Structure 1
Amino acid sequence: MNDEPELKFRGGWMMAFVPVAIFLIFCVLYFVVLDAFDMTALATGGFIALLIGALLARNYGKYWDAVMAGIGSPTAVSIVMVLFMVGMLGQLIKDSNVSGGFVWIADQAGLNGAALTLFTFLACCLIAMATGSSIGTMFTAFPIFYPAGVLLGADPTLLAGAIVSGAIFGDNLAPISDTTIISASTQRFRRKDGAADIGGVVTSRARYALVAAGVSAVAYLVFGGTGAGPVDSADLAEASDARGLLMLIPIAVLLAVSFYTRNIFLAVTVGLILGTATALLSGLLEPSGVLGVVDGAPTGYLVTGVASLLPTVCLVISVFGIMGVLRAGGVLNRIVDALARGRLAGTPRGAETAIGLGVSATTVLFGGVNSASMLAFGPIADEIGARQQLHPYRRTNVMDCFAMGVSCVVPVFSAFLFIGALLTGGHEQAPALSTVQLFGATFYPLVLTVVLIVAVATGWGRRFEGADGVAVRQREDAAEPVSV
């Protein structure tokens, strides 16, 4: 972390935190004060923070050299490329109406009450895994499942919580999720080149995510009904489309390729080709829905998919620019050294605890936007964990799962809960809910936090980096490592 030239500020090294403070002010302003979730606004805050921070640098040129070094880092560039690729795939899945297929199943099976709450949770899990977008899943699922589900006897609060929980689960585990990509890309190997591969990360993370999802599913089944009898719902039938289930085929192939090859670019390519063919042959998309021009404006999921990720890419660029300033100013070194030399991070368990606490605090400060929090805290987690020889998969999973836990659903700060509460409004059949009501019903992130605390305390799933990056059960300085 000492590759960059030292950058000095007027007023001392603490002035390097000014861009961070300005960025946090934008997070609080938009998510807490204005109740507006907008990644472009966050990115704007980041760029404004960089401009103001430059005025405090003793050497203006070196400041912008540091910004460019952060933006041009291999981690930042790889994240941007992957985000654009998966943006196209996620848009394909949305446009081909996978959610309509799940609604068709619920309608045909006559699900109601608690069973419908459970089904909604599972459906949202799969939709979010397929699209890689928690926010996109919420905007898709709430108008379809929430009013109809209440009519069919589901408890309104728990039904809304099930939608938010399913969206967070998919974001937590999806190979094409921006949070999965960011958390993996920020954790580098020390015994070989490169960062944690997404396929390996998702495979190793599944044990924690599936346990939390299983417990949540049982809770929704037990508590998710109001006792009302089944009610005929024209809205449910109108929103259903069995053809959407066909898109599960390319999704399954994509997941298989991702897990087998551990190459997200190959997996996305296969998914795009097979998914496009399936959508066109089934009539879910017209050729113009793939790529075209209408009235002089470009159309198709390829264009809209890239466009939908532009705000997130801008956020990545601004945050990595800020991280470049912190690195060049020696701030990251100071933070890592303070944590690593402290008593807490002096053991593997302590290092994981420090990562969990650090990313949780950062996520709360960033309004529950875990992609931004992991961009900021990722390099710190990388250094803390590497000093205890923790494998990149383990560092990634501890950071990602804590960022997806309680810290992303704190009622007064959470963008997830603000959006969820917003989407419960405006329905004649169902009540509008507050963020506090949603918090207690959003089981998955709450249970996931407990699962990770147990994993850190007991060492469940803990692996260290051995020769050539192989995951081993013991550190080399502790005993002879055993390959796993």
Structure 2
Amino acid sequence: MKNIKEKNGKGLALVPFIIFVLVYLCSGIILSIKGVDMAFYQFPAPIAAVIGIISAFFLIKGSLDDKFDTFIKGCGDENIIIMCIIYLLAGGFSATSKAMGGVESTVNLGLTLIPTQFIIIGVFLIAAFIAISTGTSIGTIVAVAPIAIELAQKAGLNLPLTLGALVGGAMLGDNLSIISDTTIAATRTQGVEMKDKFRTNLGFVLPAALVTIVLLFIFGKPVNTPEVHTHAFNLVKIIPYMFVLIAALSGKNVFVVLTGGIMLSGVIGMGYGSFSFLGFIKEIYTGFTGMFDIFILSLLTGGLANMVSKGGGLDWLLNKINKKIRGEKSAKLGISGLVALIDAATANNTVSIIVSGELAKELSKEHKIDPRKTASLLDAFSCIMQGIIPYGAQLLIVGSVTKGLVSPVQIVPYVWYSFILAIFAVISIVTPFGNGYLNKKPWQFKDNIPLDEVN
């Protein structure tokens, strides 16, 4: 079997992928200059992928039938199909649990339990829990931002700091969530279990979260003590979130976990009159349709990646990157930098993982990097970058909720968690710190191919 150094590849085959990224990036920049709201989300990413695919049919050598066959095989790759089905189930669970009042109860429970002097820490922790439970940082921000702004103004808190804590907590939850599309993409592209990625992440995520909480406690004390109102919550409506989190971490099949979460949300929702049986079915479908963009994008990028790979594009890029790498640590840093740069270009952390996943997998095999660590770094650094780019959906949404009081650019310096996480993630790369789980359960390699986990 040839290693990366023996695979020269062809740089021309990489051009379709570059076209895909540039179309997506340039459309966002042009629309931003024109003053269009949410500019980087106006041009659908799947259409940018289609443009890249069309160019691949012209630029990559071979017969039309062979190229089409390569594209279809990429779309139908086992990991791509599994990933897409998980997306649908995650969307169904998120929609049904929200419709039956799960998000509202979780927010209100947090506001009730957390003392008023710890408001800003409470915003961070509530956002983290909701994002872990629902798998969406954007949905978390939409749900919590209005309450966070009101509390910050009444308590005399620094508003950008409060919103930075909100975004940081949302990205923390997004990174750790078992049902997040970033987790799904990172684990499926690297062929590892979600629970293993979660435990690997904890090694450097938990210290980063603790340092963030300490800083928020020191610098986020309220000037005034706001009047606390009674917030209605229902512990029963939080049960589906706890079920999904605990069942997933215990190693249960992800399809069973998400289906069980949907059924629980449905039973509770119908029991409390949140929706009828037909309404429950419609909520599931609403969740499915909410995943349409990422579903289609995953299929298309799977096909495009296979065409680029067959044409020698990935081999060429891997060869170039590998010349700059001097060992396992620099390979990890290269993977982290690659996914972060792609996220900066696409303003979408899931897209960045899908796009860089195959490259990361090849680099991991060549340099014998534990694939659980690779999945962890892909998820972490995509979320780090996504949390601090002012044109990303997270900061654009939270900025818009303030109705002109604070701009996304003003919030960026206060997303302390993302910057602290980057520091601890790099430390986990260059030192043994934060790798306790991997040391306890090492990964075995043979001929640069990762085998089953050693018990």
TM-score w.r.t. length of structure 2: 0.87
Give the one of 244, 247, 256 matched to 2:246: 256
2:423 is aligned to 450
- Structure 1, 383-392 or 60-69: larger mean CA deviation: 60-69
CA distance in 2, matches of 1:472, 1:257: 24
Give the one of 167, 171, 176 matched to 1:168: 171
Deviation at 1:182, TM superposition (A): 0.2
Deviation at 1:201, TM superposition (A): 1.5
CA distance in 2, matches of 1:231, 1:309: 39
Give the one of 380, 384, 387 matched to 1:401: 380
Report if aligned partners of 1:473, 1:483 keep a CA contact under 8 Å in 2.
yes
- List per-residue Cα deviations over 1:21-51 (Å, max 9, x = no partner): 3343345446776342538712222223323
Deviation at 1:364, TM superposition (A): 1.0
1:178 is aligned to 181
Q: Confirm or deny that 1:276 pairs with 2:266.
A: yes
Relative to structure 1, is the Cα distance of residues 130 and 377 closer, same or farther in structure 2, using a 3 angstrom cutoff? same
Q: Confirm or deny that 1:241 pairs with 2:232.
A: yes
Relative to structure 1, is the Cα distance of residues 79 and 454 closer, same or farther in structure 2, using a 3 angstrom cutoff? same
Query: Secondary structure at 1:175's aligned position in 2?
Result: coil
Which of the pair is proportionally richer in helix?
2
Relative to structure 1, is the Cα distance of residues 196 and 29 closer, same or farther in structure 2, using a 3 angstrom cutoff? farther
CA distance in 2, matches of 1:448, 1:217: 12
Between 1 and 2, higher relative CO (CA 8 Å, sep ≥ 6) is seen in 2
Relative to structure 1, is the Cα distance of residues 347 and 57 closer, same or farther in structure 2, using a 3 angstrom cutoff? closer
CA distance in 1, matches of 2:342, 2:284: 33
- List per-residue Cα deviations over 1:103-144 (Å, max 9, x = no partner): 4346645843x5111111111111111110111111121123
2:205 is aligned to 209
Counterpart of 1:50, as a letter, is: I
CA distance in 2, matches of 1:362, 1:411: 12
Relative to structure 1, is the Cα distance of residues 226 and 95 closer, same or farther in structure 2, using a 3 angstrom cutoff? same
CA distance in 1, matches of 2:106, 2:313: 49
Give the one of 118, 122, 126 matched to 1:119: 122
Counterpart of 2:105, as a letter, is: G
CA distance in 2, matches of 1:93, 1:28: 36
Report if aligned partners of 1:18, 1:53 keep a CA contact under 8 Å in 2.
no
Query: Secondary structure at 1:261's aligned position in 2?
Result: coil
Give the one of 408, 417, 420 matched to 2:395: 417
Report if aligned partners of 1:128, 1:174 keep a CA contact under 8 Å in 2.
yes
CA distance in 1, matches of 2:83, 2:443: 29
Q: Confirm or deny that 1:196 pairs with 2:186.
A: no
Relative to structure 1, is the Cα distance of residues 312 and 40 closer, same or farther in structure 2, using a 3 angstrom cutoff? farther
- Structure 1, 170-179 or 245-254: larger mean CA deviation: 245-254
Deviation at 1:263, TM superposition (A): 1.9
Counterpart of 2:358, as a letter, is: P
Deviation at 1:323, TM superposition (A): 1.4
Q: Confirm or deny that 1:383 pairs with 2:353.
A: no
Deviation at 1:242, TM superposition (A): 1.1
1:22-101 aligned at under 5 Å gives the runs 22-29=23-30, 34-36=36-38, 38=41, 41-58=44-61, 59-101=63-105
Report if aligned partners of 1:23, 1:42 keep a CA contact under 8 Å in 2.
yes
1:286-305 aligned at under 5 Å gives the runs 286-291=276-281, 300-305=282-287
Report if aligned partners of 2:141, 2:170 keep a CA contact under 8 Å in 1.
yes
Query: Secondary structure at 2:361's aligned position in 1?
Result: helix
Relative to structure 1, is the Cα distance of residues 120 and 476 closer, same or farther in structure 2, using a 3 angstrom cutoff? same
CA distance in 2, matches of 1:456, 1:360: 15
CA RMSD of aligned residues (A): 3.2
Report if aligned partners of 1:208, 1:451 keep a CA contact under 8 Å in 2.
yes
CA distance in 2, matches of 1:40, 1:306: 21
CA distance in 2, matches of 1:477, 1:67: 29
Report if aligned partners of 1:348, 1:388 keep a CA contact under 8 Å in 2.
yes
CA distance in 1, matches of 2:329, 2:12: 34
Deviation at 1:167, TM superposition (A): 1.2
Counterpart of 2:369, as a letter, is: L
Report if aligned partners of 2:444, 2:454 keep a CA contact under 8 Å in 1.
no
CA distance in 2, matches of 1:255, 1:31: 38
Report if aligned partners of 1:213, 1:444 keep a CA contact under 8 Å in 2.
yes
Relative to structure 1, is the Cα distance of residues 39 and 327 closer, same or farther in structure 2, using a 3 angstrom cutoff? farther
1:225 is aligned to 221
Query: Secondary structure at 1:460's aligned position in 2?
Result: coil
Report if aligned partners of 1:155, 1:225 keep a CA contact under 8 Å in 2.
no
CA distance in 2, matches of 1:327, 1:81: 24
Q: Confirm or deny that 1:336 pairs with 2:318.
A: yes
- Structure 1, 94-103 or 199-208: larger mean CA deviation: 94-103
CA distance in 1, matches of 2:212, 2:438: 32
Deviation at 1:343, TM superposition (A): 4.6
1:472 is aligned to 442
Report if aligned partners of 1:98, 1:247 keep a CA contact under 8 Å in 2.
yes
TM-score w.r.t. length of structure 1: 0.82
- The number of residues matched between the two structures is 443
Query: Secondary structure at 1:290's aligned position in 2?
Result: helix
CA distance in 1, matches of 2:388, 2:155: 29
Counterpart of 2:66, as a letter, is: K
- List per-residue Cα deviations over 1:342-386 (Å, max 9, x = no partner): 252x4221211111111111111112x110000000101111011
Counterpart of 1:96, as a letter, is: M
